Amino acid sequence: MNVENRVAIVSDSMADIPEEYRNSLDIQIVQGGLSFGGESFSQDQLSPQEFVRRMAKHLKRTGELPKSNAPNPYDYYRAINTISRKSNLIVVTIAPPPISSSYDNALAGLSMYYRAEELDKPESLRQNASHEQIGQEMKDKVQIINSQSVSMGSGLLAVMAAEMAKRGMPCEDICKEIYDLIPRISVVFTIDTLRNLHAGGRISRTRELIASMLKIKPVIEINQSKDTVLMRPRTREKSLTELVNIVTGQVDLDFPYLSVLYLDKMEDLPEFGGNRELRYRSARNEASELADRISDYYTKKIIFTEVGSVVGVHAGPGAVAVAYVKKRP
């Protein structure tokens, strides 16, 4: 494909796109990461299992969660600058504020790219072109899209954009299709423990204790940048059943992808496995059974993958999630 018409797709590691899809569709990832006190890691340096292991030890030692770090503006500047040499048009789909600072940092990185491109122009061209004209040229070349979602909610948008780019669809048409999907992208999930929500300041210690005593396993939705508690089942089994009911009642059966994700419980790891109950089921097994139940209704491709560390630090060990596109109203 001619470089002038090639569209490159960029996302960040918070989208949790499996390596298989990143490689086959050439989706470029800008890495976020975590800080465990004095140690820092990008997401690609930590497997989900190693992340859960380190988080458990860090939380026990300090009483605090590791700090998640969005890619900084310079990370986005480098990605855009590098990719622009091979592609004339770039579409970036990333998580929004208040969920993440990625979107604001990407805009700042794009501003850095604007200034660098302007300085690279010959003096005669800079004198004859207004700042607005140069800015419009860059805007036409790089589109920063607020996905209004997280994890594979954002990832599904990047996968679809990459598939359209691979078919040679113009950048303008790709963006139009993605913007049309954004209001219908939903991520619903249940969490196994409220400890991370408490440690992250989202709920009080009292609410955490009460919910733990009552064995409440909330079902939460993220849609258009807002998180909403949909229901508060009293058992894990009921919360997983509610996930199935919500998804099968809302999913667009014609959309080609749906994603089921999970993050290991601490008890899934050998060194924490001594407290398992007799009828214990791992988070992976629970998510696999969930995917099987959904597949009885949704017959397209189900992307089965793991929650990455940047999202996982907030959702907590044992989280099970479904990212999907809702039917049109």
Inter-residue contact 202 to 99 (CB < 8 Å): no
* Beta-strand pair 320-325/257-262: antiparallel
Q: What are phi and psi of 306, to 5 degrees?
A: -105, 150
Q: What is the pLDDT of residues 241-295, one digit of tens each?
A: 999 999 999 999 999 999 999 998 877 676 665 555 545 578 999 999 999 999 9
Helices (H), the chain: 19-24, 48-62, 73-83, 102-120, 123-128, 131-141, 151-166, 171-181, 195-199, 205-213, 236-250, 283-295, 309-315
Query: What SS3 class is residue 10?
Result: strand
Q: Which pLDDT belongs to residue 133?
A: 47
* Beta-strand pair 185-190/89-94: unpaired
Q: Can you tell me which residue has the tokens 């080609």?
A: 256
Q: Which pLDDT belongs to residue 209?
A: 40
Give the rounded percent of residues in the chain with a pLDDT score beyond 90.
49
Report whether pLDDT(119) > 70: no
The full set of domain ranges for the chain reads 3-34+70-182, 184-325
- Mean pLDDT on 178-193: 93
Q: Which pLDDT belongs to residue 197?
A: 58
- Pick from 89-98, 132-141, 188-197, 211-220: least confident: 132-141
Report whether pLDDT(42) > 90: yes
Q: Give residue 324's identity as a one-letter amino acid code.
A: Y
pLDDT band at residue 204, thresholds of 50, 70 and 90?
very low
Q: What is the pLDDT of residues 124-181, one digit of tens each?
A: 433 444 444 444 555 568 888 999 999 999 999 999 999 999 999 998 899 999 999 9
* Beta-strand pair 67-69/33-36: antiparallel
Q: What is the pLDDT of residues 70-83, one digit of tens each?
A: 899 999 999 998 88
Query: What SS3 class is residue 53?
Result: helix
Q: Which pLDDT belongs to residue 302?
A: 98
> May I ask the CATH class of domain 184-325?
alpha beta
Q: Which pLDDT belongs to residue 271?
A: 60
Q: Which pLDDT belongs to residue 127?
A: 42
Mean pLDDT (the chain) is 83
Return d(Cα 303, Cα 18) in angstroms, integer. 8
Report whether pLDDT(210) > 50: no
- Mean pLDDT on 101-113: 89
Statement: 3-34+70-182 belongs to CATH 3.40.50.10440: no
List, as one string, the DSSP characters of 79-147: HHHHHTTT-SEEEEEEPPTTT-SHHHHHHHHHHHHHHHHHHHS-HHHHHHS-HHHHHHHHHHHEEEEE-
pLDDT band at residue 211, thresholds of 50, 70 and 90?
very low
Q: Which pLDDT belongs to residue 138?
A: 54
Q: Which residue has the higher pLDDT, 210 or 115?
A: 115
Q: What is the pLDDT of residues 298-326, one digit of tens each?
A: 999 999 999 999 999 888 889 999 999 99
Q: How far is CA 128 from CA 114, 118, 121, 125, in A?
A: 17, 12, 11, 5
